[in-house]
Structure 1
Amino acid sequence: MTSIQERSYTRLGYDKVKENVMEHTLSYIGRRYVEQLSPSTKLLEVEQALDESAEAKTLLETRLSIPLATMDGMESILDLVGTGYMFSAQDFSCLGTFLHSCEQLRSYMSSKAATAPRIHAYVTSMKDTGNLKKEIERCIHHGHVVDAASKELERVRRKIAVTKQKIQTKLDSLVARNRSIMQAGIVSMRNGRYVIPIKRSHRNHMAGVVHDESGSGQTIFIEPKEVAALQSELNMLYADEACEEGKVLSYLTGLVDEVEEQLKKNAEMIGKCDFIFAKGKYARTFDGNRVQINEQGIIDLREAKHPLIYEKMVALNIAAGSTYRSLIVTGPNTGGKTVTLRTLGLLTLMVQSGLLIPAHPSSRCALFSHVMIVVGDDQSMEQSLSTFSAHMNGIIDILRVADESTLVLIDEMAAGTDPGEGIALSIAIMEELHRRGAVSLVTTHFNELKTFASQTEGFENARMEFDAETLHPLYKLTIGEAGSSYALAIAKRLGIEEHLIERSEQLIHNRYKTR
């Protein structure tokens, strides 16, 4: 991608659109798909991506909650499967949740082949993982290995329960007999052993091992001799329990290793569906539609809005690429000319990325290899470039690659220089872009460019409508007519002296009369 192309994507807001789509993803694979998202120039690829987005939007309109897995914990599991690593009970809880979500999505999509054939195909392509889900549910519950996971584990845990009860009975008896020498009537744990808090002055009144003492030294924590043997037995049982749990986890890990490829395939499909539904969710934020696409450079956007300012914007109709490939847009400052360029550029990138757009479904968009914009904020303070120089650098970059598969958007062509030279240079550049077959939209205040467009085949004028009475822009693009900058009307309404307005009108009249 050229530098002007990268800057154009940023200036058009493409990165922000991707961020907005990302906010609707649930999984790390879905986020990865968004990160890799970029405009495509392949017609069938774009058609398929648009169809997928439209299917997702349709399904979301009938059911807001689609059973998609968040895939929490799955990234590390899929990285470690087949490496000899033994998964933990918590890992299997994550895996069980994932497998359950796969099952739910398959069930949900089973009846959606007619409504969403492409998404249905993705879901039905997921692979069978045998009895893995059933065995995880039998052996694991809430991140722990359950008693019924194996007969030996169940036996060991019964013995643990019996031994703990014996210890508790012994401790209760000791506390009752020795309450007078205890610092507090509470049994606690030290180093994994049950201990009783005894006043140091009564150390010799209880046989046992001291495991700790209080900060003041007034209390010592003794493991009574009467429960030491039982505690040793309990610790041995805990070791047996850990061994049996390890056998269960090893068994389940073996099942996972056997279906490694199936799991990875299913995770990829879930991530793909997450990505598609994220596009559908994003489209619903501005009632996006699937539009028609072509490879002939024909643009016909109807009731189009910029998705990042959707609520505030008046819908636009923009057409180019058919009877004319170059459109000269005129109108007052703050009248919406720049927004028009940015809207066309961004919606084009979105469509080529398989995203639905805020436009009427009868709209048509073209596929372009290059979508490039040069706007006023290309001025670089760091490089001390004037507006004109910055514009020229951008246009030079465009001319290096411009061809019949290029969409060129230039705001205020040749601004910031001598009008005479600027006009001549603007016409030469537009002629060259037209000769190469590029589709171009250019904004200007120069009347000469309006005249050029009206008299030259392949060029057309357009204007941003403006209410001269209220001095309010109407943000409506009218194609086929040139507009005015309304500088004198605005100046008059703001209060500039009448004789200055009259003199300005006289100068304008004389200027064009002598030509």
Structure 2
Amino acid sequence: MNTMTYEKLQYNELKEMVKSHCVSSLGKDLLDKLQPSTNSKVVKNRLNETSEARSLLDAESHLPLKGISNISHQMEKLEKGMILGPSELVAISDFLRGCRTIKKFMFDKEFFAPVLHSYAYSMMEFNQIEETINFSIRGNRVDSEASRDLKRIRNHMAKTEEKIEERLNKFLKSGANKEYIQEFFISKKDDRFTVPIKASYKNQVEGTIIEVSSKGSTVFIEPAAISKLNAELASLKAEESMEEYQILATLSGSILEETRQININIELIGQYDMIFAKAKFSKRIDGIEPKLNNHGYIQLKNCKHPLLSGNIVPLDFEIGKDYRSLIITGPNAGGKTVVLKTIGILTLAVMSGFHIAADEGTEIAVFDNLFVDIGDNQSIENSLSTFSSHMKNISEIMSASSNNTLLLFDEIGSGTEPNEGAALAIAILEEFYQMGCITVATTHYGEIKRYSEIHSDFMNAAMQFNSEVLEPMYKLLIGKSGDSNALWISKKMNLREKVLQKAQHYINNKNYDLERVKESKIKRQIQNTLKEEATYDFEVGDRVKLLEQNDYGIVYEKKDNHHNVLVFYKEEMVKVNVKRLKLEGKATDLYPEGYDLNSLFISYKERKFQHDMERGSKKALKQVSRDIKKRLSE
């Protein structure tokens, strides 16, 4: 799978829909990281988890997952040696209580959910930590009962504050001070008790000026009578802070000692959250767990696209048993593209452990790869650049595909003159068939439909159309069949020479190669290819993939005594060890006999032209048009 597959099939949108059912960021984070698995055992386990969670949802009125928060940030702070504050400790206590509740809930659910029940055994309870935090922290503040010393200090503080207030009230009520006082109340400034005095009398009142009002008309003075008590109170506050720190440090330390197991609890809660989100999504769409296989067989019974709403026509579909390639024809806006996207998104969904909206008997294959070539740009002006991008995409898909790959092609061979486009499409479909791929393609070309009719391992299908009212019915009917620059551009996009030669042959001669490829032959081809790659000596002109750069180059010199090959890469010659290279195309296959290989390394202008073609440069496209006209006039 690649980014384009996920984008075209809206896989990430499907995950967002499932994420909306999560109750914490733990489950959402796991769904963000979730990818379709190519391992049938993993897929089976994922689906089983979802089915068990769905059974619990159907049997229980509620699940005790609400209120659980992600405490990963607090645990990271602890591991860095930081001390947690009261609110952070309360969050951990709430989380541990949630773990305990879920463990208790899952313990008697072995009959409904044996696998999810077994996960609860890995979850540990921390009653002592919970109780200590709840006893020591009240209202996001360290409670006075947390320690004897803290209680003593706070009692002493309270008595000291009472004495201060008594003396200040006496100061305010004294007739001798009445003239100096701006307002008759006690004000706290920076944790120090003060009295507001008129600025003009500040020198008449014995004490310390703590603050001056913005207009300067009032000064806040700490009278000398309470200076000693204020100093004593400040000292007590420092003691209080130290004692609170000791209590918080002790609580933090007790949690830090259990970091490993608490992190396991975090992972388990995240898994439960994600699994139950899948189950809630299943219940919402009335989903089922389909059958699985790993030999490319797909059977869809009344299946619906998970992202479409409203009055959807369900899809019935089958491939991989009596035929391995399906060609779908039909009118524009008849639903052909929706069929492709439905097959693709349902396959990705199942490989991710999601249930699908379908009838019993639906079966999905687990593939090693799923690739799509679905284009939405139908502009006539951009048809040339669109065709180029499609050929480039198909070329890359061909390099990455295996005999356990699902391919979905929309309007294969389109964007060019029908005769060449159809011939090229047939050659491409034939190549993928011989590679052992499962292929579903839509087309308007009658020649592709005719080829499918006479090939025993291909099948036609059509989108039903109401001819009386000229409206599509969006229903797939399997077994029904409802001079240009294509080859030249395809060669520029590095499509295999073998495919191009066959396409050229089919333009002039409809005598197609209909030899049926046996499964054992496919396996031998794969084994021989792997064996050949393991012993192959790179030749000058070979196209190779630089594994570290994930990019391509051309062999300039064969390997030396140190098993290094000189490769022409990005206008430079670089030495690369053979272990870090992968053969993408042999020179003998890429270039005709007698071809001057030196031109590969000196024709910068040609390379720049190809780069401009790939990015759809208007200047390059104009050059293409001029070259085509020139060829036609010759």
* TM-score higher than 0.5: yes
Contact 2:384 2:416 in 1 (8 A): no
In structure 1, the residue corresponding to 2:34 is in which secondary structure? coil
- Equivalent residue, structure 1, for 2:403: 404
**What corresponds to 2:46 in structure 1?**
49
Paired letter, 2:472 = P
Q: CA deviation at 1:370?
A: 1.2
- Report the counterpart of residue 60 of structure 1 in structure 2: 57
Q: Residue 25 of structure 1: which of 15, 22, 25 is its match?
A: 22
Counterparts of 2:286 and 2:173, CA distance in 1 = 74
Secondary structure, in 3 states, of the residue corresponding to 1:376? coil
The alpha carbon displacement at 1:419 in A equals 1.8
Q: Structure 1 residue 256 and structure 2 residue 244: aligned?
A: no
Q: In structure 1, what residue type is equivalent to 2:28?
A: R
Q: Distance in 2 between matches of 1:408 and 1:481?
A: 21
- SS of 1:209 mapped into structure 2: strand
**1:442 correspondence with 2:441:** yes
The change in CA–CA distance for 1:229 and 1:354 in structure 2 (over 3 A counts) is same
Alpha-carbon spacing, 1:367–1:231, altered in 2? closer, same or farther (3 Å):
same
Q: Distance in 1 between matches of 2:254 and 2:390?
A: 63
Distance of 1:382 and 1:33 partners within structure 2? 43
1:165 and 2:162 aligned: yes
Within 5 Å, which residues of 2 pair with 1:327-338?
327-338=326-337
Distance change in 2, residues 1:399/1:217 (3 Å): closer
Deviation of residue 64 (structure 1)? 6.3
Counterpart Cα distance in 2 of 1:448 and 1:382: 25
Distance 1:104 1:180, change over 3 A: farther
Q: List aligned pairs for 1:45-444, cutoff 5 A.
A: 45-63=42-60, 65-68=62-65, 72=69, 74-129=71-126, 131-177=128-174, 178-377=177-376, 385-444=384-443
Whole-angstrom CA distance in 2 between matches of 1:73 and 1:237: 37
C-alpha change, 1:381 and 1:135, in structure 2 (3 Å) is farther
Matched residue type, 2:324: R
| Greater mean alpha carbon deviation, residues 142-151 or residues 13-22 | 13-22
Alpha-carbon offset, residue 81 of structure 1: 3.0
Is the CA contact 1:379–1:385 (under 8 Å) kept in the aligned structure 2?
A: no
Unaligned runs of 5+ in 1: 484-515
Which residue of structure 1 aligns with residue 499 of structure 2?
Answer: none
Between the two proteins, what is the percent identity of the paired residues?
38
**Would you say 1:38 and 2:35 are equivalent positions?**
yes
Q: Report how far residue 428 of structure 1 moved.
A: 2.3
Q: Is the 8 A contact 2:37 2:352 kept in 1?
A: yes
Deviation at 1:246, TM superposition (A): 1.7
Cα offset for 1:368? Answer: 0.8
Q: Please tell me the residue identity of whatever aligns with 1:194.
A: F
SS in structure 2 of the partner of residue 400 of structure 1: helix
Tell me by how many angstroms 1:347 deviates: 0.8
**Would the aligned equivalents of 2:24 and 2:70 in 1 still touch at CA under 8 Å?**
no
DSSP 3-state at the match of 2:28: helix
CA contact (8 A) 1:450 1:482 kept: yes
AA of the residue aligned to 1:57:
R
Distance in 2 (CA, whole Å) between partners of 1:180 and 1:160 is 32
* 1:452-491 matched pairs, under 5 angstroms: 452-483=451-482
TM-superposition CA deviations, 1:192-224 (whole Å, max 9, x none): 211111112333553221112222222111112
The answer for unaligned runs of 5 or more in structure 2 is: 483-634
Q: Which amino acid aligns with 2:456?
A: E
Shift in Å at residue 258 of structure 1? 2.0
User: Could you tell me the TM-score, scaled by structure 2's length?
Assistant: 0.71
Quickly say closer, same or farther: Cα 1:59–1:73, change in 2 above 3 A.
Answer: closer
User: Deviation per CA, 1:389-421, whole angstroms, max 9, x where unpaired?
Assistant: 232222222222333211111111211222222
> Contact 1:56–1:276 (CA<8 Å) still a contact in 2?
yes
How far, CA to CA, are the matches of 2:380 and 2:470 in structure 1?
33
Change (3 A) 1:310 1:293: farther
Number of residue equivalences: 480
SS in 2 for 1:217: coil
* Contact map agreement 2:133 2:251 (CA 8 A) in 1: yes
Query: Per-residue deviation at 1:339?
Result: 0.5
Relative to structure 1, is the Cα distance of residues 469 and 338 closer, same or farther in structure 2, using a 3 angstrom cutoff?
same
Per the TM alignment, residue 73 of structure 1 is displaced from its structure 2 partner at its CA by 6.1
Distance 1:414 1:204 in 2: 97
SS at structure 1 position matched to 2:153:
helix
Equivalent residue, structure 2, for 1:13: 10
Stretches of 4+ aligned residues off by more than 6 angstroms: 378-384
The answer to which of 161-170 and 379-388 deviates more is: 379-388
Tell me how far 1:386 sits from its aligned partner: 3.1
Deviation at 1:366, TM superposition (A): 0.3
